[in-house]
Amino acid sequence: MTHRIGLVVPSSNVTVETEIPALLSRHTEQFSFHSSRMRMHQVTPEELKAMNAQRERCVGELGDAGVDALLYACLVAVMAQGAGEHRRVEKEIRGQLPDTEILSSAGALVEGLTALGARRIALVTPYLRPLAEQVVAYLEAEGFTVADWAALEVGDNAEVGCIPGDRVLEAARGLDLSGADALVISACVQMPSLNLLVPAEEEFGLPVLSAATAGAYTLLTSLGLDPVLPGAGRLLAATH
């Protein structure tokens, strides 16, 4: 059996369609991936709002493909709309596709951190500082304490997909991780981080996850599949 995964992504995003399939290819089950795109280039409040307005069309297209699970894959587009927004968005999408498992990157990150038992966390984000502050506020409204965070201040979403791993790790090294339960090394599905997870866990000595690994975790659990993938960090290990 092949599980069909639907991805709603910003038009300028290339990373989520690389990292989610790469992660799930490590599972014993088979998956196929089907995307629909919303126009967005600059990561600004105005473009994010305009992008969200295209959601209904994208969801309808993926419904035509008969996907088993759908991931609304733009974390900041949801979190920038205010506390608890992922629940409202997922509920609305579920109204369109009642027979499909509906998830969002924003909700997946909350679920992944909760699964790890993390309460005090640190973040690396690519966003301009005002948007990064909204992500921090969103997670704190979910009951997490954000001990420290970094904003790489990249506003062009295409450029976010080209941020080198050493820059991401350098930002992580600049964080105060004392007392942190987990590090989110990429709070964005567009900022590449797949190859950083295991080295970062070894270096920092705590669970390291990303928007992509959280998305993979929730996709697997929503489909009733074992959320275990090798080489993907502690969230996707046999034991957390």
Q: 215 exposed, middle or buried (CB, 10 Å; 0-12, 13-18, 19+)?
A: buried
What is the pLDDT tens value at each position of the chain, 240 positions in all? 899 999 999 988 999 999 999 999 999 999 999 999 988 777 888 888 887 888 899 999 999 999 999 999 989 889 999 999 999 999 999 999 999 999 999 999 999 999 999 999 999 999 999 999 999 999 999 999 999 999 999 988 889 999 999 999 999 999 999 999 999 999 999 999 999 999 999 999 999 999 999 999 999 999 999 999 999 999 999 776
Residues 144 and 199 in one domain: yes
CA 107, CA 102: separation in Å to the nearest integer?
Answer: 10
Q: What CATH number has the domain bearing residue 172?
A: 3.40.50.12500
d(CA 25, CA 66): 20
Instruction: Say if residue 124 is in the same domain as residue 6.
Output: no
Can 74 be counted among the known catalytic residues?
yes
Answer whether residue 234 is part of any domain: no
127 is in an annotated binding site: yes
CB atoms within 10 A of CB 27: 19
Q: Which pLDDT value is given to residue 109?
A: 98
User: Do the Cβ atoms of 5 and 33 come closer than 8 Å?
Assistant: yes
Cα 172 to its chain centre, rounded Å, is: 17
- Could you tell me if residue 100 is inside a domain? yes
Q: Is 52 annotated as a binding residue?
A: no
Q: Which domain holds residue 126?
A: 109-210
Residue 237 inside a domain? The answer is no
13 is in an annotated binding site: yes
* Whether residue 137 sits in one domain with residue 60: no
The answer to whether residues 6 and 101 belong to one domain is yes
Is 67 found in the same domain as 49? yes
Residues 126 and 98 occupy one common structural domain: no
d(CA 194, CA 233): 9
Number of structural domains, the chain? 2
* Contact present, 69 and 219 (Cβ < 8 Å): yes
Instruction: Establish if 240 belongs to a structural domain.
Output: no
The answer to whether residues 57 and 75 belong to one domain is: yes
Is residue 128 within 8 Å of 153, Cβ to Cβ?
yes
d(CA 150, CA 20): 24
Same domain, 64 and 49: yes
Helices 85-96 and 105-115: crossing angle, nearest 10°?
120
DSSP string, 82-106: -TTHHHHHHHHHHHH-TTSEEEEHH
Q: Mark whether 31 and 71 lie in a shared domain.
A: yes
**Is position 239 within any domain?**
no
- Is 30 annotated in a binding site? The answer is no
Catalytic residue, chosen from 102, 188, 200, 206, is: 188
b/e code 90-120 from CB counts within 10 Å (16+ = b): beebeeebeebbbbbbbbbbbbbbebbebee
Indicate whether 182 belongs to any domain. Answer: yes
Provide the whole-model pTM.
Answer: 0.95
- Asked if 87 and 12 sit in the same domain, the reply is yes
74 is in an annotated binding site: yes
The closest of 137, 85, 142 to 112, measured between CA atoms, is: 142
147 with 76, same domain: the answer is no
Tell me the C-alpha distance between 103 and 72, whole Å: 6
For 19, phi then psi, to 5°, come to -75, -40
Q: Judge whether 189 is annotated as a binding position.
A: yes
pLDDT at residue 208 in the model: 98
128 and 101 co-located in one domain: no
- Catalytic residue (choose from 43, 51, 69, 74): 74
Is residue 154 domain-resident? yes
User: Residue 113's pLDDT is what?
Assistant: 98
Q: Indicate if 188 belongs to the active site.
A: yes
Would 236 be classed as within a structural domain? no
